[in-house]
């Protein structure tokens, strides 16, 4: 009996030792060896893996902040007792991915061996900045200015404008920006170009980007004294907070019209809409709920968007305009939101705006009692031509567009500044 008990004890001990060994083998060791910044081409994540048994699966999980894009990747590897694996996250390969400077990424590694043993590294944060330049920073009221050229005084002035714009536009739209905002100022077009979303060669030949909102909390600006560009782009930060959600989205004329409204003046856009009004050759409101596909309509699009927004604010007041944004954010379509606040839809707004600009409403009564339609066109007239082949989609971009000489009479130069918005 004693021998039997002893034998059982030995077997139990072996079982415990075997279980302990298996448990030890079931926990691979992962060492996060960091991220290599290859801006603007992306970044390389690497991890050291050590395990007593072969690794079956290795995965990198990451989240791109602040907009919360989550993804995972499984790098190729050759399993051994100890090996290093890497994964390259491309930085600028539209339409699949675009990572602007200032992108923050949270990530961790996970590994599973053939016995089902699992382990993972701690979640850490990587800041993807433009390593080509020695950036200086100044900040105030949750706004940070990044700059490497120009004077400290110019950067201070940009910071003052940024803080003032976020405050004034938040007040206008009845909202507040509850997160830090970053502004990256580039000294030249050549410096800024690699930081922008890659586009077609023809686009690059025609367009100089002067500013762009690249994420909910980040804008890029060309020039350390581009105050109106900065106002415009930061307004897009505010309009997104005030009027966009998973349930609602602002039409293009509201978003861009508000951004132009924030500037010290509409510039050439004001000339474009005035010229179109004088000819009775304006765009229909429904045609500018999205960005124009025809580059010849872009200047008029911005001008008319600004004019419509100005009409609503000047006629009905800021409080109703803020209420309009809240209605859209809640999930109402634009016609429903307008009706809830003003008692008319986009067609009604268009008729009011036309009458205010000495144009006939869209539908007039003919002498014989039949409805007669006045001329409304989406075609630009002389002097409205400018070039852009962008089909906009989330953020916003201020562009300087090289145009034909006929534009000189309208803007007094061979370039126009316009703004576009793209959705990531």
Q: Could you report the per-residue pLDDT of 290-314, keeping only the tens digit for each?
A: 988 787 888 999 999 999 999 999 9
Give the list of residues 6+ apart from residue 303 with CB closer than 8 angstroms, or none.
Answer: 260, 266, 268, 269, 270, 271, 272, 273, 274, 276
Asked whether the predicted pLDDT for residue 316 surpasses 80, the reply is: yes
Per mean pLDDT, which range of 22-36, 160-174, 346-360, 401-415 is the poorest?
Answer: 401-415
Please check whether residues 263 and 294 belong to one and the same domain. yes
Say which residue, 3 or 47, is predicted with more confidence. Answer: 47
CATH code of the domain containing 53: 2.60.40.640
Q: Could you report the per-residue pLDDT of 100-142, keeping only the tens digit for each?
A: 999 999 999 999 999 989 999 999 999 999 999 999 999 998 9
Tokens at 214, concatenated: 């690249």
pLDDT-based confidence at 178, cuts 50/70/90? very high
Is residue 324 within 8 A of residue 309, CB to CB? The reply is no
Is residue 297 within 8 A of residue 307, CB to CB? The reply is no
Domain-located, residue 287? yes
- Mean per-residue pLDDT, 214-221: 95
Tokens at 424, concatenated: 């990531």
Say which residue, 302 or 417, is predicted with more confidence. Answer: 302
Say which residue, 27 or 301, is predicted with more confidence. Answer: 301
Is residue 350 within 8 A of residue 260, CB to CB? The reply is no
Please check whether residues 292 and 342 belong to one and the same domain. yes
Closest to 67 (Cα-Cα) out of 245, 278, 247, 216: 216
- The mean pLDDT of the chain is 83
Domain boundary among 103, 128, 153: 128
pLDDT value of residue 407: 38
Domain-located, residue 218? yes
Strands 181-186 and 218-222: parallel
Please check whether residues 291 and 378 belong to one and the same domain. yes
Domain-located, residue 7? no
Domain-located, residue 2? no
pLDDT value of residue 382: 28
Say which residue, 366 or 216, is predicted with more confidence. Answer: 216
Domain-located, residue 19? no
Phi, psi of 135 (to 5 degrees): -75, 140
Domain boundary among 128, 144, 178: 128
User: Domain tally for the chain?
Assistant: 2
Please check whether residues 91 and 183 belong to one and the same domain. no
Please check whether residues 311 and 414 belong to one and the same domain. yes
Q: Could you report the per-residue pLDDT of 183-202, keeping only the tens digit for each?
A: 999 999 999 999 999 877 66
Domain boundary among 93, 128, 163: 128
pLDDT-based confidence at 72, cuts 50/70/90? very high
Domain-located, residue 314? yes
Closest to 292 (Cα-Cα) out of 324, 332, 251: 251
Per mean pLDDT, which range of 27-36, 115-124, 151-160, 293-302 is the poorest?
Answer: 293-302
CATH code of the domain containing 163: 1.10.390
pLDDT value of residue 123: 97
Asked whether the predicted pLDDT for residue 6 surpasses 70, the reply is: no
- Mean per-residue pLDDT, 169-175: 98
Residue 78 belongs to what domain range?
Answer: 27-128
pLDDT value of residue 99: 94
pLDDT value of residue 205: 63
Q: Which helix (H) or strand (E) holds 4?
A: helix 2-25
Say which residue, 278 or 297, is predicted with more confidence. Answer: 278
Threshold 0.85, pTM exceeds = no
pLDDT-based confidence at 23, cuts 50/70/90? very low
Please check whether residues 161 and 277 belong to one and the same domain. yes
- Mean per-residue pLDDT, 389-410: 39
From the CB of residue 255, how many other CB atoms can be counted at a distance below 10 Å? 22
Q: Could you report the per-residue pLDDT of 92-103, keeping only the tens digit for each?
A: 988 889 999 999
Asked whether the predicted pLDDT for residue 182 surpasses 50, the reply is: yes
Domain-located, residue 93? yes
């Amino acid at each position: 009996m004693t021998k039997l008990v002893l034998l059982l004890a030995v077997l139990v001990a072996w079982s415990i030792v075997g279980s302990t060994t298996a448990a030890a083998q079931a926990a691979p060791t992962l060492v996060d060896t960091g991220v290599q910044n290859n801006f603007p081409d992306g970044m390389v994540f690497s991890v050291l893996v050590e395990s007593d048994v072969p690794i079956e699966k290795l995965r990198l999980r990451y989240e791109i902040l602040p907009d919360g894009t989550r993804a995972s990747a499984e790098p190729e590897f050759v399993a051994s007792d100890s090996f290093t694996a890497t994964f390259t996250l491309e930085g600028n390969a539209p339409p699949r991915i675009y990572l602007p400077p200032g992108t923050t990424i949270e990530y961790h590694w996970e590994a599973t061996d053939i016995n089902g043993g699992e382990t993972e590294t701690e979640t850490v944060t990587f800041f993807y900045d433009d390593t080509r330049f020695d950036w200086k920073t100044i900040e105030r009221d949750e706004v940070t200015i990044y700059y490497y050229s120009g004077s400290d005084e110019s950067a201070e002035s940009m910071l003052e404008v940024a803080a003032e714009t976020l405050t004034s536009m938040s007040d206008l739209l009845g909202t507040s920006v509850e997160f830090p905002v970053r502004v990256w100022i580039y000294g030249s077009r050549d410096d800024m170009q690699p930081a922008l979303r890659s586009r077609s060669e023809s686009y690059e030949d025609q367009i100089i980007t002067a500013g762009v909102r690249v994420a909910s909390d980040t804008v890029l600006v060309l020039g350390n004294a581009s105050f109106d560009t900065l106002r415009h782009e930061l307004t897009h930060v505010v309009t997104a907070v005030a009027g966009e959600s998973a349930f609602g989205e602002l039409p293009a004329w509201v978003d861009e019209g508000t951004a132009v409204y924030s500037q010290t003046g509409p510039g050439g856009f004001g000339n474009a809409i005035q010229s179109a009004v004088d000819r009775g050759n304006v765009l229909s409101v429904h045609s500018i709920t999205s960005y124009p596909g025809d580059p010849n309509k872009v200047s008029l699009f911005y001008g008319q968007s600004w004019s419509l927004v100005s009409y609503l604010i000047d006629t009905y007041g800021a409080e109703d305009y803020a209420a309009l944004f809240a209605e859209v954010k809640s999930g109402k379509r634009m016609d429903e939101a307008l009706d809830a606040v003003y008692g008319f839809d986009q067609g009604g707004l268009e008729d009011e705006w036309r009458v205010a600009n000495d144009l006939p409403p869209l539908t007039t009564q003919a002498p014989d009692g039949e409805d007669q339609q006045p001329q409304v066109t989406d075609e630009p007239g002389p002097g409205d031509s400018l070039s852009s082949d962008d089909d906009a989609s989330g953020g916003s971009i201020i562009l300087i567009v090289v145009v034909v000489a006929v534009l000189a009479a309208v803007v007094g130069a061979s370039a126009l500044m316009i703004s576009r918005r793209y959705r990531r």
